[in-house]
Amino acid sequence: MPVCEICGEDVSEVKECKMCGVIFCQDCGDFERELCEDCIFEMENGGEDEEDFDIEDEENFFDEDEEDFFEDEDDEW
């Protein structure tokens, strides 16, 4: 009997994840997509790098607002 590398159970059928190559059972992934639960989770949540990029964009936006604020103050002085 094949063994699932994720849950460690003896199962009748396993698949190899096409993303990370782990052997998983039906409980630990999607047989139709040939993806383990870890890779499905990563795909559904998108890349972490993209999320960081969005946060950086927002920070830059605030920085620009602050600069405008200081410029206005200089004009008044």
Subset of residues 4 to 63 that bind Zn ion, contact rule: CB under 5 A: 4, 6-7, 17, 19-20, 25, 27-28, 36, 39
Q: Cα separation of 70 and 77, whole Å?
A: 11
Shorter beta-carbon distance to Zn ion: residue 15 or 25: 25
Q: Which CB atom, from 31 or from 53, has the smaller least distance to Zn ion?
A: 31
| Helices (runs of H) and strands (runs of E) counted in the chain | 2, 4
20 CB contacts (<8 Å, ≥6 apart)?
36, 38, 39
Q: Which residues bind Zn ion (CB under 5 A)?
A: 4, 6-7, 17, 19-20, 25, 27-28, 36, 39
